[in-house]
Amino acid sequence: MSTITNQSEHVDGVSGAERLNMGIVEFIITIAVMTASVAIAIDSMLPALPAIGQSLNVANTNDSQLVIGVFFLGFGISQIFFGSLSDAFGRRKVLLGGLAFFTVSMFAAALTQSFETLLILRFIQGIGAAAIRITTMAIVRDCFGGREMARVMSYVMIVFMIVPIVAPSIGQLVILYANWHWIFILIGVIGAILFVWAFSRMKESLPREERMPLSVGAVASGFKTVLTNRITCGYMIGMTMFTAVICAYIVTVQQIFGEVYGLGDWLPIAFAGTAGGIAVANFANGFFVRSFGMRRISHVSMILFTLISVAGFVMSLSGTPAFVVSYLMFSVLLMFFAVIATNFTAISLEPMGHLAGTATAITGFVSTTGGALIGGAVGQLFNGTLQPLFGGFALFGALTILATLWAEKGKLFTHPGDKDVSMDHGGGHM
């Protein structure tokens, strides 16, 4: 049932970018742009939410958030399937299918005149995006191992981090000169270009002799392994809470910056600042994690995140805080989010060994789906104040601390069984 996805030597003797018949620069750019298309589909929508709601006669302004939330839901639910499908049928077929789904549903969304139809299409777009995300990550694992994989992924993440900074400005620019339908047309064109590029340039990275049979039993067994491992399960709960954090922020940021603080056309710039903080935090984490370790950094971050969120909630009870105060708090909180999400993902996979591929799909499925539902629920509580968001953040932080304490048997900052976990998968079980 193991997925053979992290080897540096392959049956056909070809490794690295050569496995796709590409140079390393072309490989990195291709994977980065494929991955970034998911972020574009989310963040470019933010400035358009009021226009979409008005155009499609959405009675409750909070319901416009569903344009983002439903995409997250489709993205989360379908992740569990694409890992197994790409292991069985190869990466290329699943990637091309995902790109086709993504592209056609974008063009269809540009034509719709119904909010309900738009939400169905956004769910389908999320499914297509999940196929793109899962297969591109699997392709990197097929082609590179160890430090080389880490190096490639770091370059990919640089591009991926830039997208949330510029995507809302692209959406704002389209709204300025046209209407919201053209955002979907633009993303559809990007999807079509990526489909043609993948079809003409990308070879299959997983030879037939390395593929795994499609098996419901393998997925069920993978679920059992993940859900009976204390470390993996505890940190997966934390990942779910922090997916809820980013989902709640993204679905309400337009209303907070636009309605509460009246930023209007300045929304993309304000959003770019907080997204830039996430990029800075990721770089800093990469620099310091070797010296201080994943647990020290992420545990301190989750405690500080929770304390700042509580302070923000208390402040918001007595009125709306000044914009500068709120903006600084959101920026710092999102920097902590980046550090926590990155390290929690790595820690959750530590005990999984050869099941890392299956575990990634399962933890991604649980955390993204659960986070989208919980974060979306917080978004629906928006009442013209910052109370629901800060209150939700504080609750998510507190629950993460409890889940981490349970996973680590009451000991934060260092893991009492580090040596055992690396040597014996049974050491982390409940």
Q: Is 78 exposed, middle or buried (0-12, 13-18, 19+ CB in 10 A)?
A: buried
What is the per-residue pLDDT across 247-265, written as a single tens digit (0 to 9) for each? 999 989 989 998 899 987 8
Instruction: Let me know whether 172 and 226 are in one domain.
Output: no
Instruction: Let me know whether 82 and 141 are in one domain.
Output: yes
End-to-end Cα, the chain, rounded Å: 22
Q: Decide: helix, strand or coil at residue 229.
A: strand
Angstrom distance (rounded) from CA 180 to CA 109: 10
Instruction: Let me know whether 204 and 222 are in one domain.
Output: no
Angstrom distance (rounded) from CA 36 to CA 133: 9
pLDDT at 145: 67
pLDDT at 350: 77
- How large is the average pLDDT for residues 222-239? 89
Instruction: Let me know whether 146 and 48 are in one domain.
Output: yes
The pLDDT confidence band at residue 3, using thresholds 50, 70 and 90, is very low
pLDDT at 294: 85
Residue ending a domain, among 159, 187, 213, is 213
- How large is the average pLDDT for residues 345-355? 75
pLDDT at 186: 96
Domains of the chain: total? 2
Angstrom distance (rounded) from CA 325 to CA 246: 19
* pLDDT over threshold 90, residue 129: yes
pLDDT at 223: 79
pLDDT at 353: 63
Residue ending a domain, among 213, 239, 268, is 213
What is the per-residue pLDDT across 369-406, written as a single tens digit (0 to 9) for each? 999 999 999 999 999 999 999 999 999 999 999 999 99
The pLDDT confidence band at residue 427, using thresholds 50, 70 and 90, is very low
Q: Would you say the pTM of this structure is higher than 0.85?
A: no
pLDDT at 151: 73
Instruction: Let me know whether 231 and 205 are in one domain.
Output: no
Instruction: Let me know whether 322 and 419 are in one domain.
Output: yes
Q: Decide: helix, strand or coil at residue 14.
A: coil
Instruction: Let me know whether 151 and 139 are in one domain.
Output: yes
Angstrom distance (rounded) from CA 65 to CA 67: 5
pLDDT at 355: 67
* pLDDT over threshold 50, residue 10: no
What is the per-residue pLDDT across 142-178, written as a single tens digit (0 to 9) for each? 887 666 776 787 778 777 778 878 899 999 999 999 9
What is the per-residue pLDDT across 35-84, written as a single tens digit (0 to 9) for each? 899 999 999 999 999 999 999 999 888 999 999 999 999 999 998 888 77
pLDDT at 187: 96
The pLDDT confidence band at residue 185, using thresholds 50, 70 and 90, is very high
Instruction: Let me know whether 149 and 254 are in one domain.
Output: no
CATH number where 309 lies: 1.20.1250.20
Domain that holds residue 233: 215-430
Q: Which of 94, 84, 360 is nearest to 214 (CA)?
A: 84
pLDDT at 260: 92
What is the per-residue pLDDT across 89-116, written as a single tens digit (0 to 9) for each? 888 999 999 999 999 999 999 999 999 9
pLDDT at 354: 59
Residue ending a domain, among 154, 181, 213, is 213
pLDDT at 424: 37
* pLDDT over threshold 70, residue 429: no
Neighbours of 181 (CB within 10 A): 18
The average confidence (pLDDT) of the chain is 86
Instruction: Let me know whether 95 and 41 are in one domain.
Output: yes
Ranges 144-158, 316-330, 358-372: which has the least confidence: 144-158
Tokens at 46, concatenated: 């933010």
Instruction: Let me know whether 399 and 258 are in one domain.
Output: yes
* pLDDT over threshold 80, residue 188: yes
pLDDT at 111: 95
pLDDT at 377: 94
Angstrom distance (rounded) from CA 166 to CA 173: 11
Angstrom distance (rounded) from CA 219 to CA 362: 9
Instruction: Let me know whether 231 and 286 are in one domain.
Output: yes
Instruction: Let me know whether 226 and 195 are in one domain.
Output: no
Q: Is 146 exposed, middle or buried (0-12, 13-18, 19+ CB in 10 A)?
A: exposed
